[in-house]
Amino acid sequence: MKFFIDTANLNDIVEAEALGVLDGVTTNPSLMAKEGITGAANILNHYKKICDLVEGDVSAEVIATEYDGMIQQGEELAALHPQIVVKLPMIADGVKACKYFSDKGIKTNMTLIFSAGQALLAAKAGATYVSPFLGRLDDISTDGLNLISEMRLIYDNYGFKSQILAASVRNTMHVINCAKLGSDVMTGPLSSITGLLKHPLTDSGLAQFLEDYKKGN
């Protein structure tokens, strides 16, 4: 399973990259605003900075909600850097724009996926990545992981090439469960990646090894 970090925070991206397990980055307008990155020029420049920090795919979201605007913004984003993936919302014009970009060989990420039907449409439009929002489904007492299972079944039934990008991942259990269910990618905050490191028996075992080494030297 690929690990993407879901942030626009450059320090978090550097820390995840340094761990050696990072495969890409996802962002969204809210994450950009959280870092105080506003205005089209600053946002485009920030995407370039992110691409310079990592080797993998970097999802950059269009703001337009109608087809022509999505095409214009998506082309501008894709021209920024070869690592850019054009992120499009799951609405009718987003599906049409996804087909346009996939026909042109430009990578896409269909975002705000909350049902198996939406996931099926995104795959048929040729999306590179399809992003079900686990945490937001869990927030409204709906089993987000069930959507991952449904998507895996549907994509495998027909050999769709779209990758399931489990998004809105909030914790380490989300990551582990996504891996068990065969999600191709997960994207979450730095804590969802570094949290996987932790186990008290690792810490106590290492402390014991070091103590015993000192006794023999």
* 136 touching ligand E4P, by CB under 6 A: yes
Active site residue 87: yes
Distance in Å, CB of 26 to ligand E4P, minimum:
4
The DSSP letter of residue 171 is: S
Angle of CA points 8, 38, 32, to nearest 5°:
20
Q: Which one is catalytic: 2, 34, 48, 87?
A: 87
131 sits near ligand E4P (criterion: CB under 6 A): yes
Q: What is the spatial distance between Cα 151 and Cα 217, in angstroms, rounded to a whole number? A: 56
Question: How big is the CA angle at 161 (ends 68 and 53), to the nearest 5 degrees?
Answer: 70
Only segment of 50-58, 131-139, 178-186, 200-208 that touches ligand E4P (CB under 6 A): 131-139
Residue of 108, 128, 163, 187 that binds ligand E4P (CB under 6 A)? 187
| Strands (E) located in 91-214 | 108-113, 129-132, 163-166, 185-188
Residue in 7, 73, 11 with CA at minimum distance from that of residue 44: 73
Of residues 52-111, which lie at the interface with ligand E4P (CB under 6 A)? 111
**Residues in contact with ligand E4P by the rule CB under 6 A:** 6, 26, 28, 111, 131, 133, 135-136, 167-168, 187
Catalytic residue numbers, as ranges: 87
